[in-house]
Amino acid sequence: MSNEKLIQKFNKQANVYEMRRRKQTEKKWREKLIRCAKGTVLEIGVGAGANFQFYTEDVVVTAVDFSKEMLNKAKEAAAESGIRAEFIHSDVESLSFPDDSYDTVVSTLTLCGYEDPVKVLTSFNKWCKRDGLILLMEHGISSNRFVGYLQSAIDPVSIKVSGCHLNRNLTRIFQQSNIRMNKVEHYLLDTVQLVWAAPNKDINGKLN
């Protein structure tokens, strides 16, 4: 699917994402993860701003999304939550930040849509400070064989309808990205994973 078509799909879904935000869908997971964010935060694929209500007041967020409609919803969410934020309309694969720019990098339910999720995580590794945090909430293929089979069977339909892959192997993606995994929690037969990670850099800030 072309990037332009994918953006159009997410523009059309902005109201649905806002509804999920207001209903606090995935609250127990988002709150547990996002409350760990600190300092300057880069949130990639901010969507309708579902994480904003869970940030502490002292963070400053740079929020990125390739959908203008999503960013409009996220701006409303930031205002409602009292979060200091700036917004960047961009595809993550086209972003460029200096190394060691952010104390925390956040991504929730975004890896399903990228053509090359390993490349995206490798960028997180670069942009996050050596003593910083990489916080992820992602969904992928289940460890249950039957559920995994169903996910793979309907994956083409999911991609066509929502631009989302259902059967990504998260463990493999995390290993290939070279981020340093500190803690992982698994839910719903491993279809959802919460990750507390850090950039894999030496004392001089160079990637290992």
pLDDT on residue 50: 97
Residue 157 to residue 122: CA distance in whole angstroms: 28
198 Cβ neighbours under 8 A, 6+ residues apart? 128, 131, 132, 133, 134, 179, 180, 182
pLDDT on residue 4: 80
> Which candidate, 90, 40, 48, places its Cα nearest to that of 65?
90
140 Cβ neighbours under 8 A, 6+ residues apart? 111, 112, 166, 167, 168, 169, 170, 173, 190, 191, 193
pTM score, two decimals? 0.94
pLDDT more than 70, % of the chain: 96
Q: Is the CB of residue 138 less than 8 Å from the CB of residue 111?
A: yes
Stretch 119-146: mean pLDDT, rounded? 96
pLDDT one-digit tens code per residue, 28-60: 999 999 999 999 999 999 999 999 999 999 999
Helix (H) or strand (E) holding 205: none
* Mean pLDDT (the chain, rounded): 93
pLDDT on residue 90: 95
Per the DSSP assignment, residues forming a β-bridge with 128 are: 102
